[in-house]
Amino acid sequence: MNWETSPLGKVTKILSGTTPESSNPAYWNGSHVWVTPTDLGKLDATVIATSARQISESGRESCNPPLIPKSAVVMSSRAPIGHLAIAGCDLYTNQGCKSFVCSSDLDAEFLYFTLKHRMGDIQALGNGSTFAEVSKSDLEAFEISFPKCIDEQHQIAAHLKAQLAEVEIARKAAQVQLSDTRLLRARMLKAFFAELDAAPKKKLGDYAPTTSGSTPSRGNKQYWQPAEIAWVKTGEVAFAPITATEEAISKLALAECSLSLLPPQTILIAMIGQGKTRGQSAILEIPATTNQNCFAVLPNDTWEPDFLYLWMKSSYQDLRDLSADRGGSQAALNGALMNALEVPAPSKAEQQHIVARIQAAMTEIDALENSSKAAMEDIKRLPSCVLAQAFDQQGDEDER
């Protein structure tokens, strides 16, 4: 196979986009696809033919962006450098993208895979104090290698496309397996606690001391320096033991800001939080305080900490459903709801037995999840391996 090397500027026409004035509504919500680095970054495919925002004809006329023809290769050239796609229709881009219109000597899909393989070299060209950007002139001078025969380029691109499609099938299968493992854990917890349907139940707030915390004034530096006492935020309550915190407060804040020093083995539940945070729980393994959005259940004579934590974990979706219509614009739990929870309260010996059974089952599920995660990591590395095999092997053959 006879390959040649050429600067991108000789085998492609490189185009930079523009942006209509954002404050003028007449320029937006039109029919012209207008691609940004964000659009490219969210794309889970090789081809792009839609965008989050579209510009109108008057918007196009206002900034006169170059038309990016169908089959051109579009790349984010800043914020960040490196997202790639092939235009599935005529479109426009903002200035954060560079587009490559191939000459008759270069196949667009072959160029797409070449750029994907060489992206580390392209990213190294980035410059800028605010964010890294690769310039049009640097891209024009960037050298690539390709077979002189366009049909051979087609064949290489088709082969890579088929191989990477198989990798994507494997990735999705591994993702399903990982999701199934996590679902199995949730169902397993539910099944164990379903065995306690006939067990006596007690209201949480009647049989355990509970509290929440507060956020010391950020304007008072004496509340935060010296950083002496761990302070937990809701984002740190994430179904894992808490052994350290991102922030800490001073002893003065503990004394003056309606905060309690919580002992190890306290159970924390996040009462609000974006996304999946609300309803998540954790066990404190260090003395700590919390913000006002964490509900704390202190060690008590009714529930073993591990038992109560696992029950809260199994009740995650129930807690989210309970609080879905509360909190105004943001769903939220509160102290009254938490204290009113009816929690199974078998003997402590039975609680310990259930915890031991759950932990044994968890160990098996953890092994399955870790295996699935390892498979996912291996699959993530496959695309670069496939590309390296296709391009680096050819370089070795040319040297021989």
Token code pair at residue 143: 């050298």
What is the number of residues in the chain? 400
pLDDT (mean) for 335-346: 96
The pLDDT, as a whole number, for residue 264 is 98
pLDDT value of residue 14: 97
> What is the tens place of the pLDDT at every residue in 119-148?
999 999 999 888 899 999 999 999 999 999
**Nearest alpha-carbon partner for 36 in 90, 83, 73, 104:** 83
Ramachandran region of residue 377, left (φ > 0), alpha (ψ -120 to 50) or beta?
alpha
Q: Which among 35, 138, 41, 131 has a CA at the least distance from the CA of 83? A: 41
Looking at residue 400, its pLDDT comes to 45
Its CATH class, for the domain covering 200-345, is alpha beta
For tokens 């026409």, what's the residue?
13
Q: What is the mean pLDDT of residues 66-95?
A: 96
| Predicted pLDDT at 392 | 79
| CB-side neighbour CA atoms (13 Å) of 50 | 5
**The tokens of 80 are what?**
């960040």
Per-residue pLDDT tens over the stretch 174-195: 999 988 988 898 899 999 999 9
Residues 6+ apart with CB under 8 A from 94: 17, 18, 19, 34, 35, 36, 37
DSSP codes joined into one string, 163-199: HHHHHHHHHHHHHHHHHHHHHHHHHHHHHHHHTTTTS
In whole angstroms, how far apart are CA 230 and each of 24, 259, 397? 48, 12, 60
pLDDT in tens, 1-25: 799 999 999 999 999 999 999 999 9
The CATH number, out of the four listed (3.90.220.20, 3.40.50.970, 1.20.120.530, 3.40.50.360), of the domain defined by the range 3-147: 3.90.220.20
Whether the CB-CB separation of 266 and 289 falls below 8 Å is answered with no
Cα 135 to Cα 123: distance, rounded to the nearest angstrom: 11
Domain 200-345 in the same topology as domain 3-147? yes
Is the pLDDT at 50 greater than 60? The verdict is yes
DSSP per-residue codes, 44-89: -SSEE---SSEE-HHHHHHH-PPPB-TT-EEEEEBSSEEEEEEESS
Region 270-289: mean pLDDT is: 93
Average pLDDT for the chain: 93
Checking if the pLDDT of 347 tops 90, the result is yes
- First vs last C-alpha separation in the chain: 12
Residue ranges per structural domain of the chain: 3-147, 149-179+356-400, 200-345
For residue 114, the model assigns a pLDDT of 97
Helical ranges in the chain per DSSP H: 8-11, 37-42, 57-63, 108-117, 119-123, 136-141, 150-194, 204-207, 251-256, 305-314, 316-322, 335-339, 348-399
Mean pLDDT along residues 39-61: 95
Which structure tokens are listed for 172? Answer: 């999705």
pLDDT number for residue 183: 87
